Structure 1
Amino acid sequence: MYKIKKVFLFSIIFSCIIGGINVKAEVNIGEKYETVKISDMGYSFYNFMDEENTEDKYVDEEVIEKLKSMEDYSILITKTDSNYEVALAYSDGSFTFIDAADTLEEAKEKLEEIVLPQSEDTIIPSIIGKNGQVVYATNSMGRVWKHIDNVPDTTINNISYIYSSADRVGNENLAYTYINHGYIDDVPIIEDRGTVAKIQVNGYEGWINKDDTADDYDLVVVPINQVKDPSCYLVQNGYLYHYITRNMTSSIVTGNSLRLGPAPDYLEEGKDYYSYDGVYFYEGNTIEEGLNKLITDLKNNVKDNSINKDNPYYNYYKYLPFRTRTNYTSDELNKFINENTSAESKLRGIGEVLIECQNTYGVNALLTLGVAINESTTQDGWGMSDYAQNYNNLFGIGAVDFAPDGANRFESPSDSIREFTKNYISAGYSNPDDYRYYGGYLGNKALGANVKYASDPFWGEKAAQHAFTIELGMANGELNNLKDYNGYQLAMYFGENQVISKSGSLLYNINSKVSGFGGYSGNVIALLYEEKNSKDEYEIFPEVNSPINGNGYSSYNGIYDWNSRAYINSSNIKLINKTKSSFIPGYKKEDVNKDDIIDIQDISELALKYNISQDNKIFLRRLDINLDGIIDIFDMVNISKYIN
């Protein structure tokens, strides 16, 4: 499902303009800047269409399109030999010269002296660097664009690092996460300190290098009045879409859209909503107004201007823990795959191993298939990537941005699924004792597997959209027939907690912030039951079944015991979705105690609440097997039918 938008990120060589074109004459205040397109500068760009270029076959087509889209990007021809020039940015994309300065601080002082008439409030004072690019504006967005040797990067595999604090910028070993500019264009700038800036990248607020005087930097400033095509969320036919732009200054649609699931009822069709965390949404009569509301809240660390400040949206599939199970069988999964792939697809016939790995390694089969589709798709279809076709590698395991041809080879696609679910998810990204752990769910760039698994900041969201597409397909397009959606009650930690086994031992701590090992505030867990026990605890599916060591290099083998449960205190817990049923996916409703066996123990548990109706405060919906509003003999009869 793509909203038609075609444009890509390009690497520009700004330094060539300095000196070659910068022979200065007398300059008048108000004089308009001339521009030059990157495509007209005579530089040699990566030839994406070169059939002999072996690197091309490993590249995500979305990245190629993103990079191509910037071919028409223009930079300014500076008017003086000074290091900086003060200019006015207009909404039509033009700039006019005001003054020159030797230092950024001097330029900012001159900029602050500019007084605009009230009728000209759409003009934004800006500072231009020697490379012909905006380095500061009084009201701005950021464009993620890596520069190497002061030249915009035209390659496809370099990454930019994002840091938790400004003083860590430049030390890659201290980076919180990383991104590839081939997947992202626009980010809100929360704070600009000249050489570094605080931005929000798909939910994570961190610092990035924007020092245009250095050889390498990663962010370009865009005056907010020149933003024409920002990323946004929109509703179409009841579904929520995330439109991801490829060029926010383009006057035409340039990106693609992800269909995420049913839209929240507070979002209306026909409106664009701005959000860079996918949780809180902003609107405005103009693009500038909407983005300004968002940035103002980010700067003040509040959500006051969002339309849903008291009702955050958490996409179900993006936050659904891997430690859950699907209702769908291997036959249903195979049928869906066969109906939606070509005969050559390496996804065909994997339904059995998806369920096998769910049962053995504790990784939801629907989420696994969503990731496999996301990682193996080309224009030829799902399961058709070079890694999948020639390596039997459905997940790009072993391939990294700077070495895409280093992917692992497997004897069969099934072997790659076992490797992914056992060693990457179960023993890795879902293991609080592993250095890769930021939460056992797809997530975003703040928390979840997406923090470290992929340089695409929207990797988790893209895998989640495929999970929804799979379910919708198996439900014949009927939202009311979805068997997994909102099946589990999800809960988010918003403070410290402990995960305690049934035997009373501490499995791992939940920390107030991301530090050390264990879970973190903001992480999401799946509950077995909606209600608390007598100790004010929720019973949960823990990330691991035995206590962690806390050294970051766990010996956990990835085998998951579904019957090894744990408890968390209900304090510092927030329920983040509304379940459609009290019967969770992956279990028959007659299996009251969720031990995969329907026996006398299930009847015994039900008997403890016998003859209690839904009008009673201690009524438990999950014990009302026949949904008649009372727990009675007829519910027991339904259970007894399944006892062997």
Structure 2
Amino acid sequence: MKQLLLYCILTITFFLGAPTILAALNDEALNVSPTKEWTITFSDVVKQSTVNDQSIYVTNAAGGTVDVTYDINGNTVIVTPVTPYERGATYTLSITESVTNEMDLPLQQPVDKPFTIALPFVAASADGEAIASFTTFAEAKAALPENGFITENDRVIHMTKGVVVTTSLTTLIYGHETMRKEYAGVTRHTELLYVDSTDKYVKVLHAGEHFYVKHSDVKLLPNESLKSYYVSGNSGLGHVLYNHVTNTSSSYIIGKAPSFLTKGKAYYSTDGHHFYDSEGTFVGESYNYFQYVSPRVTSSYSAKDIDAFIMRELEAKEKSGVKRYEHATTKSALIGFGKTLKQVEQEKRVNALLLLSLAIHEGDYGMSCHALHYNNTFGFNVTDTNDACDRANVDTSNKKYYASIADNVHAVVDSLHERYLNPAHLQPNSTNIQYNGAAFGDKLVGMNVRYATDPYWGAKTAAHMYKIDQALGGKDYKAYDVGFTTKHDVTLYNENMASVYTYAYREDTKRFGIMPITLSKTPSTKDGYVRVVSELMNDSEDVYIESDYVRIVPTH
């Protein structure tokens, strides 16, 4: 006659009939999760009516029965507590002879499995095996083995080394461990280099500086290494971005690669301008030119040049066979865009190629739904809660709709000036926190700090600018020297040495005291000062800054 055997997943294995119960069955399971589900596997289909709180149950140390639920599926029974078990308490899972199969053959020998619930903080080895649990984080950290990690409520909160991945739609990064001085937002699935953590915060390295994030916004991956990297190739400097959630990679070409990088070799950088090889050896420093040059410089190209580039790109897109680019050469919102861009460049001092790059990046070469039907090729006012695009019923009352592409351009430029390119916002009486320097930038300086949650938005948009310039002859590339201020509260002066504006250090909104600057093509005649491009929209006169407070950087 067929005997009923039982197996309990993990450390529990039960046999009925001739075989004896394995000794390991009676060993106490330690550091068990408060929400532990015990999965019991029998050798035959279980008769469901025999599974109840009399035949399979959990008791506490005082003998009281704990409320549990049963999930019966063929020969398995999953036992789950209705409410979490108490931290540090010991319980016993009991399986009695009352459990039978469909032929009413019983379990021949009862089994009791003691288990103890982990204290809040569990120290684990590198392979994930729980070593011990503790009441406090400090105790767990003191017992941490080499390359081990600590969990709290089954979430990794501390590790010797590893990678941090953002999990919230927007993860706020802070300049202080108390989560004050909110600095910017970073999009979901961004890879960050782990520095340290406690049960209160996670310290990461990004954009070349230390930031702090909340545990609730990230996931810690112990003993993982950075998988995003830079590589020099025939097309230029590529940036490969790894997604630890989907285990996939994406990439884009930034522009020309620094000369010190060897083609085909992977390099690593948390800021895009300090590069290290796979051994962690520093190999060189270089900044992406179009990512940090001032938007206030004038492009060398005419409206005709720009329109010619646009049409060549649209023709290539149309010939690609990609459905969304069908009839691009007749439908794109960018057709004839050059005249408007050059007009705005002259009137409002925003570089025409920068604006075209932004339109390409946000509006998919003028072929996005909003570009075609809302005259909005910049995605302006298209937010997470206002991103629907109804082609058949265009809502002209929606603030993302514009009467013309020209209106859209002017609205975007006015907004850029008001929010992101106006140094007046660093003054103590200003409530604006979006200005962080006049450049595409990154998550440390420039528009990227507050304009986009994608930490590489500045690099990706600048990549379009490089591509446009190269296609038109490379006249704008490295036409200016760029640099950064080296201290807080740096004042810029006019020709008469009167103060024009100050890069004031506002601790409540901007943690760092460095700002991007672009040197004028006209040499300074004032001893001790360098001449730089003004950031003011209505004043194209160069300004002066003390040379001791400026560091010119190499660019690529």
Q: If the length of structure 2 is used for normalisation, what is the TM-score? A: 0.70
DSSP 3-state at the match of 1:374: helix
The verdict on how the C-alpha distance between 1:444 and 1:518 changes in structure 2, with shifts beyond 3 A counting, is closer
What residue in structure 2 maps to residue 279 of structure 1?
273
Contact 2:286–2:555, Cα closer than 8 Å, also in 1: no
Q: Distance in 2 between matches of 1:22 and 1:110?
A: 28
Q: Is residue 163 from structure 1 mapped to residue 188 from structure 2 by the alignment?
A: no
Q: Secondary structure at the match of 2:175?
A: coil
- Offset, 1:136: 1.8
CA offset digits 1:5-25 (Å, max 9, x no partner):
xxxxxxxxxxxx963736799
Equivalent position to 1:470, from 468, 471, 495: 468
| Structure-to-structure mapping, 1:194-233, within 5 angstroms | 194-210=199-215, 217-224=216-223, 226-227=224-225, 230-233=227-230
DSSP-derived class of the 1:143 partner: strand
1:175 to 158, 161, 182: 182
Question: Which amino acid counterpart does residue 167 of structure 1 have in structure 2?
Answer: T
Whole-Å separation in 1 of the counterparts to 2:449 and 2:516: 15
- Which residue identity is paired with 1:201? H
**Unpaired runs of at least 5, structure 2:** 1-32, 41-56, 59-114, 315-327, 389-397, 426-431
Change (3 A) 1:22 1:507: farther
1:226-625 equivalent positions in 2, closer than 5 A: 226-227=224-225, 230-237=227-234, 239-247=236-244, 250=247, 254-285=248-279, 290=280, 305-308=281-284, 312-341=285-314, 342-343=328-329, 344-377=331-364, 382-405=365-388, 408-421=400-413, 423-434=414-425, 435=432, 436-475=434-473, 482-495=474-487, 496-511=489-504, 513-515=505-507, 521-529=513-521, 531-544=523-536, 559-562=537-540, 564-577=541-554
> Compared with structure 1, are the counterparts of its residues 161 and 417 closer, same or farther at alpha carbon in structure 2 (3 Å cutoff)?
same
Structure-2 separation of matches of 1:519 and 1:100: 38
Question: How far does residue 407 in structure 1 lie from its aligned partner after superposition?
Answer: 5.6
Alignment partner of 1:167: what SS?
coil
Q: CA deviation at 1:127?
A: 2.2
- The 2-side partners of 1:327 and 1:233 are apart by 30
Q: Could you tell me how far 1:125 is from its partner in structure 2?
A: 1.0
1:165, 1:207 within 8 Å by CA — same for their partners in 2?
yes
Q: What pairs with 1:60-75 in structure 2 (closer than 5 Å)?
A: none
Q: CA deviation at 1:196?
A: 0.5
Quickly say closer, same or farther: Cα 1:262–1:488, change in 2 above 3 A.
same
**TM-aligned CA deviation for residue 438 of structure 1:** 0.5
Query: Which one-letter code corresponds to 1:233 in the other structure?
Result: Y
Candidates 125, 129, 133, aligned match of 1:88: 125
Alignment partner, residue 7 of structure 1: none
Note closer, same or farther for the CA distance 1:99–1:364 as it changes in structure 2 (3 Å cut). Answer: same
CA distance in 2, matches of 1:202, 1:22: 45
RMSD (CA atoms): 2.9
Aligned residue type for 1:267: L
| One-letter identity of the residue aligned with 1:571 | D
Indicate how the Cα distance of structure 1 residues 267 and 249 shifts in structure 2: closer, same or farther if over 3 A, else same.
farther
Distance across 2 between alignment mates of 1:492 and 1:413:
35
Contact 2:229/2:268 (CA < 8 Å) preserved in 1?
A: yes
* Structure 1 residues 518 and 508: CA distance shift in structure 2, 3 A: farther
- Please list the CA deviations of residues 549-588 of structure 1 after superposition, one character each: whole Å capped at 9, or x if unmatched: xxxxxxxxxx5343x2322222211222479xxxxxxxxx
Change (3 A) 1:22 1:176: farther
The alignment partner of 1:433 has SS state of helix
CA contact (8 A) 2:237 2:254 kept: yes
Superposed CA deviations along residues 51-79 of structure 1, whole A, max 9, x for unmatched, are xxxxxxxxxxxxxxxxxxxxxxxxxxxx9
Question: Counting helix residues as a fraction of each chain, which structure ranks higher?
Answer: 1
Do the aligned residues in 1 keep the contact of 2:294 with 2:533 (CA within 8 Å)? no
Q: How far does residue 362 in structure 1 lie from its aligned partner after superposition? A: 0.6
- Residue matched to 2:96: none
Gap change, CA 1:270 and 1:452, over 3 Å in 2: same
Whether contact under 8 Å (1:432, 1:518) holds in the other structure is: no
- Is the 1:201–1:457 contact (alpha carbons within 8 Å) kept by the matching residues of 2? no
Q: Distance in 2 between matches of 1:518 and 1:139?
A: 29
| Matched position secondary structure for 1:100 | strand
AA paired with 1:569?
Answer: E
Instruction: Work out whether residues 529 and 538 of structure 1, in 8 Å CA contact, stay in contact via their aligned partners in 2.
Output: no
Cα deviation code 1:388-418 (max 9, x no counterpart): 2222112222233455457621112221111
Give secondary structure in 1 for the equivalent of 2:125.
Answer: strand
Q: Per-residue deviation at 1:515? A: 4.1
**Which residue identity lines up with residue 575 of structure 1 in the other structure?**
I
For the residue of structure 2 that corresponds to 1:176, the secondary structure is: strand
Secondary structure, aligned partner of 1:392: coil
How far is 1:99 from its partner? Answer: 3.0
**Normalised TM-score (structure 1):** 0.61
Structure 1 unaligned segments of length 5 or more: list them. 1-16, 27-78, 117-123, 147-157, 211-216, 291-304, 476-481, 545-558, 580-644
Structure (1/2) with the larger strand percentage: 2
Partner of 1:19: 35
> d(CA) in 2 for partners of 1:345 and 1:464?
21
CA shift at 1:331, angstroms? 0.8
Q: 1:407 to 1:192 in 2, by over 3 A?
A: farther
Structure 2 SS opposite 1:455: coil
1:529 is displaced (CA, Å) by: 2.9
| TM-superposition CA deviations, 1:446-481 (whole Å, max 9, x none) | 110111111111111110011111122223xxxxxx
Q: Deviations over 1:278-305 (max 9, x none)?
A: 12111224xxxx4xxxxxxxxxxxxxx5
Q: Compute the displacement of 1:267 (Å).
A: 0.9
Counterpart Cα distance in 2 of 1:160 and 1:198: 13
Figure out how many residues of one structure are paired with residues of the other and give that number: 420
User: Is residue 108 of structure 1 aligned with residue 95 of structure 2?
Assistant: no
Does the CA-based 8 Å contact 2:296-2:349 persist in structure 1? yes
